[in-house]
Amino acid sequence: MAFMQNDEDTVNEFNQYVKPVSLWADAWKRLRRNRMAVISLWIVGFYVLVTLFSPLLQSAGILKSYTEQYIDHQNLRPSFKPAGELVIERLEARLAQLEESIASRGAAGDTSYSSGTGFDFGPAPEIVFDDEEGGESEGTAEAEAEAEAETEQTEEAAFEYTYIDSVQEELDRTKAEIESLRNTIHTDPIHSRVYILGTDDLGRDMLARTIYGGRISIMIGLVGTLTAVLIGILIGSISGYVGGMTDNFLMRFVDIMYSLPYMLVVIIIMSIAGNKGRGSIVILFVAIALISWLTIARVVRGQIISLKNSEFVEAARSMGAGTPRIIFRHLLPNTLGVIIVFSTLLMPSFIMQESFLSFLGLGVSAPQASWGTLVSEGVRGMELRAWQLLVPAITMTVFLFCMNFLGDGLRDALDPQSKNRG
């Protein structure tokens, strides 16, 4: 039926072929003229494709697993060199440092190891003892375990243990490590892994983690937007079309919800979901989508009210169409442009909100990770390992950037005389 109509439309009353210029074709033409929007569209498409096909990429061997941990490979910097070489480089740097430390201590004649701290190794730029960060440090560095063992020892027999001994011990161990690495580097395939974007503090590939984080973030953005749009359309169109008491009741409800501090309510919901529930993405969806439909509902209601007295609605009604048919067949398609614009602008805000919660530790939790989780993990060690912060942060920012540009572009294209252009 719908197809038939379209075919008839392409011929005018003089039987001439008319190329129809629909709103959509028109909008598409305008959008294509906006260069930033087109570039953004490509980039967003790229993100979606990569995150969508990341399991395929992984099974094809292009992408590494985001859960695989190699303790040897923790905190490697971004590089095109194989991991083995990087580890050796790092160990050699550490070796030089230890030697220097021994030399200077020896020269100062300060051999006794003063009480208390087991961490007094002199400057150690690559290995950080972030004990107080807790939580994530299941894959503790050998050195850290050593240090802990050492504190215990010092408590038992503090004066038998001297500083030089401990440094000497580590020196020997580092030497042995380098030696064994040199032997295995060409035979063990693990050491030939290349981490273009470095690794995190558990030796996981940052590239894979960022892509999988994007997968979750984008998914939450999409699902959240879809739910919000569906609820918003339903409530908004009923409220707008039916009017009267229903409208009054629904809109007062929306007003009250509006006056609630949105993020605080979401935080309460995440908090009462508790430790078990907190990790679950479903609750996050529910919490965010529960409140986010308000704006859409208002917008749709406004549009419907302005359209419901127009002639085509009158015509439909006189032909006997029921309320649902008028709403869904006649009114909603006419508000679609506004809804699309709002959804594109809603999605980045969802992603931001989800990441906001994850950043605070109230959103997605391990083993899953969203961009927000990755950024918050990166913040912990950013002084020494800036890439762990910058890689997810930049990836996320670029995506949000493009979504915003795309939203602006769509608004200009679909709604050229829009008043509220910020």
Partner 1 sequence: MARFFIRRMLSLVPTLFIIVTLSFFLIRVAPGGPFNRERDIPEAILQNILKRYHMDEPLMKQYTRYLGDVLRWDFGPSLKYRDRSVNEMIDNGMPVSAILGVSALSLAVFLGVGVGIISALKQNKWPDYTAMSMAVVGISVPLFVIGPVLQLFLAIRLKWFPPGQWLDDHGLKAIILPAVTLAFPYFAYIARLTRASVLEVLRSDYIRTARAKGLKESVVIAKHVLKGALLPVVTYLGPALSGIVTGSVVVETVFVIPGIGRPFVQAAINRDYTLIMGEVIVYSLILVVANLVVDLVYGLLDPRISYK
What residues make contact with partner 1 under the rule CB under 8 A? 256, 259-265, 267-274, 348, 352, 355-356, 359-362, 372, 375-376, 378-379, 382-383, 386, 389-390, 393, 396-397, 400-401, 403-405, 421-422
Task: Give whichever of 106 and 125 is closer to partner 1, judged by the CB atom.
Answer: 125
Task: Give whichever of 191 and 209 is closer to partner 1, judged by the CB atom.
Answer: 209
User: How near is the Cβ of 139 to partner 1 at its closest, in Å?
Assistant: 23
Q: Say how far apart CA 159 and CA 107 lie, in whole Å.
A: 21
- Is the omega angle on the peptide bond into residue 348 within 30 degrees of 0, that is, cis? no
User: How near is the Cβ of 214 to partner 1 at its closest, in Å?
Assistant: 14
Residue that has been written with the tokens 């002199």 in this structure: 122
Residue that has been written with the tokens 């569209």 in this structure: 41
User: How near is the Cβ of 382 to partner 1 at its closest, in Å?
Assistant: 5
User: How near is the Cβ of 135 to partner 1 at its closest, in Å?
Assistant: 11
Q: Say how far apart CA 28 and CA 30 lie, in whole Å.
A: 5
User: How near is the Cβ of 244 to partner 1 at its closest, in Å?
Assistant: 23
User: How near is the Cβ of 297 to partner 1 at its closest, in Å?
Assistant: 17
| CA separation, residue 159 to residues 102, 117, 154, 165 (Å) | 19, 13, 7, 12
- Nearest CA to 254 out of 233, 228, 235 is that of 235
Q: Say how far apart CA 276 and CA 382 lie, in whole Å.
A: 29
- Assigned token pair, 36: 């930033």
- Assigned token pair, 356: 């906001």
Q: Say how far apart CA 24 and CA 17 lie, in whole Å.
A: 20
Residue type at position 223? V
User: How near is the Cβ of 401 to partner 1 at its closest, in Å?
Assistant: 4
Rg of the chain over CA atoms, in angstroms?
30
User: How near is the Cβ of 402 to partner 1 at its closest, in Å?
Assistant: 9
- Nearest CA to 72 out of 133, 121, 142 is that of 142
Task: Give whichever of 87 and 402 is closer to partner 1, judged by the CB atom.
Answer: 402
Q: Say how far apart CA 326 and CA 307 lie, in whole Å.
A: 11
Residues 6+ apart with CB under 8 A from 71: 139, 141, 142, 202, 203
Task: Give whichever of 27 and 345 is closer to partner 1, judged by the CB atom.
Answer: 345
Task: Give whichever of 49 and 394 is closer to partner 1, judged by the CB atom.
Answer: 394
Task: Give whichever of 218 and 375 is closer to partner 1, judged by the CB atom.
Answer: 375
Task: Give whichever of 219 and 290 is closer to partner 1, judged by the CB atom.
Answer: 290
DSSP string over 259-305: HS-HHHHHHHHHHHTHHHHHH-HHHHHHHHHHHHHHHHHHHHHHHHH
User: How near is the Cβ of 4 to partner 1 at its closest, in Å?
Assistant: 45
Task: Give whichever of 88 and 386 is closer to partner 1, judged by the CB atom.
Answer: 386
Task: Give whichever of 153 and 365 is closer to partner 1, judged by the CB atom.
Answer: 365
